[in-house]
Structure formats: C-alpha cells, structure tokens
Amino acid sequence: MHAAGAPLVTAFPAKWPVNSAPRVGRRYLTIRCWTSLSNDTANHHYSRRSQQYWDKFYKLHKNKFFKDRHYLEKDWRSYFDDEIESSNGKVVLEVGCGAGNTIFPLIDTFPKLYVHACDFSPKAISLVKSHENYSAEKMNVFVCDAAKDDLCANVMPFTVDVVTLIFTLSAVSPCKMASILENCKQVLKQNGYILLRDYAVGDSAQVKLHDRNQMISENFYFRGDGTCSFYFSEAYASTLFQNAGFAIVDINTYCKEITNHSRNITMQRRWIRGIFGRS
Ligand SMILES: C[S@@+](CC[C@H](N)C(=O)[O-])C[C@H]1O[C@@H](n2cnc3c(N)ncnc32)[C@H](O)[C@@H]1O
C-alpha cells in the first residue's frame, strides 16, 4: 500500500492500556507515509481520501459486506420505541449509514420511526435507495460529509430524538470527530441522545494492523482497502463527547472471544458502547 520512495516516518507505538493487547510490545514503528514527514493525521493520504476509498468499498462489496445489525433494537429499545399510541414516532438520524444495515432492521422493528440517514459515499446512498424496504415517505436519505457539510441543510434543526453512530466515528480521522459531534448537536432535540457502537482498543483487528505497521496516529490505522479505523478507549470517547457538550449516560466495553475452528485461531474482539445526552 505504500508509495515507492515515500519519505520514512518514525512513529511512536500506540499506548496500550494495561493488559489490553499483550501481543503488542513497546517498540518503535517505521511507517512509510505518502504525505509528509509531519505526524499530521488529517493530512495523511488515507484520511484525505477517505470518501474515495469508502465509495470504492461499496462499489466492490455492494450491500454484501456488513450483516444487518439486529442487536441494536434489543439493547436500545427504549430509545427507539414510542409507546404512546397516538404519537408519530421518534425521529432518528443515522450518520454514516453505509448500505443500511442499521436503519432497515430498525424500521422493521419500529414502523413508526422516521429515519434520516446520510453517508459521504454516493454509492452507499444509492444502495440504500435501491433496498427493497426503502421508503421515500418514511426516510430522508442523502449524501453528506458529516465532518464538513451542515446537516441542517437536509434535516430541520433540533428535530431529531436519536443520532446513531454505528461503526462510523472509527472511520473518521480523530481530528474530525469533534466536528461530526458538533454537527449532530445542531439537529438533535434538547433532550436528544447519541448512541455509539464502535471498535475498542485492544481489538484483535487493531493488533493485526499494528503488527503490519499500518498506523496513522495513536489508535488510528489504515486497512488494506484504504479505509481507516480508529479504536476507542472509554476515556477517549468520554472526553470527546464531554468536550462537545454531551453528558455520559452510559459507556462500557464489550469483549468477546471468537474462535475460528477451521483456521484454529482465537480472536479477542472488543467494542465500545456509549449513550450520550445533549446537555
Ligand atoms: C463501517 S461503515 C458503517 C455503516 C453503517 N453505520 C452500519 O451500521 O453498517 C462506516 C460508514 O461511515 C461512512 N463515513 C465515514 N466518514 C464519514 C463522514 N465524514 N461523513 C459521512 N459518512 C461517513 C462510510 O462511508 C461508511 O459507510
């Protein structure tokens, strides 16, 4: 993935929390960087071309890569459900909706929901619009780079009950995450919430990327297909949301050991789950 003749950059290893990634030792990494000798994350080739690489991803995989995320409606039922018979239902915005693996199961379970959904990949948005359950009456689906385009151009300010960030924030350069939260705040109701699910530090995928020297900055990596991935600690996510003016309702790290019997390997998967209230 590296350009021949690109300058050599020496980067420090990620600071692993105690016991989180025993297979990665403390050592210096040598990374060939396409852009400059500075450690400027936003200016890194894969950060700058993130939209292009995600669009390529959906052109290649279409809607076949991610499975429908049926666990959300179980874990966060009360955030989506509106039990008042006469009400119109809650309004949800999914930022970085991809091919719709979060929104379609939600609409299926909570038919009263009105869903706004955006992604910066035009290909992802066309996949959502061609889904068999797509409904122009119940959904407002649009192309938007949530780190720089004003969400209020497509969503009325302060009208959204819940924003979902499901494996989206990890795809964003850490220096752009605050702008995304600020943007979400402009459409959230005063008593609205952001629900976060994402990769956590020490996840086996991070260990692999780290071992392959694919680090851009601390806990931020590029994958073989050019898309990027950040791994969250609870402390990092808490500070990020609190600095953006959100209160922590709940935050935890979910760990699962997954064994691939045919390849005889065991992987430690780690995910962060958070609920943040607009304060
Ligand atoms: C791992 S996918 C998750 C898709 C979806 N949330 C799901 O549950 O399957 C991450 C998505 O975030 C989108 N994304 C990354 N950065 C974005 C940005 N700045 N604005 C809008 N979408 C973005 C990518 O195009 C990709 O579809």
121-158 pLDDT, tens digit each? 999 999 999 999 999 999 999 999 999 999 999 999 99
Mean pLDDT of 212-220: 95
pLDDT, averaged across the chain: 86
Q: Which of 171, 231, 165, 174 is nearest to 192 (CA)?
A: 165
CB 237 within 8 A of CB 224: no
Q: What is the pLDDT of residues 229-243, one digit of tens each?
A: 999 999 999 999 999
Q: In angstroms, rounded to a whole number, what is the distance separating the alpha carbons of residues 131 and 166?
A: 19
User: 26: Cβ–Cβ under 8 A, 6 or more apart, which residues?
Assistant: 13
Alpha carbon of 168 to ligand 1 centroid (Å): 4
Per-residue pLDDT at 11 exceeds 80: no
Mean pLDDT of 174-190: 97
Mean pLDDT of 72-82: 87
Q: What is the pLDDT of residues 16-62, one digit of tens each?
A: 343 343 333 333 223 333 333 335 677 889 989 999 999 999 999 98
CB 121 within 8 A of CB 55: yes
Q: In angstroms, rounded to a whole number, what is the distance separating the alpha carbons of residues 220 and 214?
A: 9
With a 6 Å cutoff on the Cβ, whether 97 touches ligand 1 is yes
Q: Alpha carbon of 177 to those of 33, 37, 147, 159: distances in Å?
A: 22, 23, 7, 22
Alpha carbon of 263 to ligand 1 centroid (Å): 30
- Residue closest by Cα to atom 10 of ligand 1: 168
Task: Please report how the helices 122-129 and 50-61 are oriented relative to each other, as an axis angle in degrees rounded to 10.
Answer: 40
Task: Please report how the helices 234-243 and 174-187 are oriented relative to each other, as an axis angle in degrees rounded to 10.
Answer: 50
Q: Which of 32, 42, 37 is nearest to 3 (CA)?
A: 32
CB 150 within 8 A of CB 186: yes
Alpha carbon of 96 to ligand 1 centroid (Å): 3
Residue 42 pLDDT: 79
Strands (E) in 68-110, as ranges, are 91-95
Q: How confident is the model at residue 86 (pLDDT cuts 50, 70, 90)?
A: low
Per-residue pLDDT at 14 exceeds 50: no
The model carries a pTM of 0.86
Q: Are strands 91-95 and 160-166 parallel, antiparallel or unpaired?
A: parallel
Residue 73 pLDDT: 80
With a 6 Å cutoff on the Cβ, whether 120 touches ligand 1 is yes
Q: According to DSSP H, which parts of 110-156 are helical?
A: 122-129
Per-residue pLDDT at 267 exceeds 80: yes
- Pocket test residue of 63, 69, 118, 120 for ligand 1, highest count of atoms within 8 A of CB: 120
Q: Interior CA angle at 166 toward 162 and 168, to 5°?
A: 115
With a 6 Å cutoff on the Cβ, whether 69 touches ligand 1 is yes
- Cα of first residue to Cα of last residue in the chain, in angstroms, is 43
Percent of the chain scoring above 70 in pLDDT: 85
Percent of the chain scoring above 90 in pLDDT: 73
Residue 10 pLDDT: 27
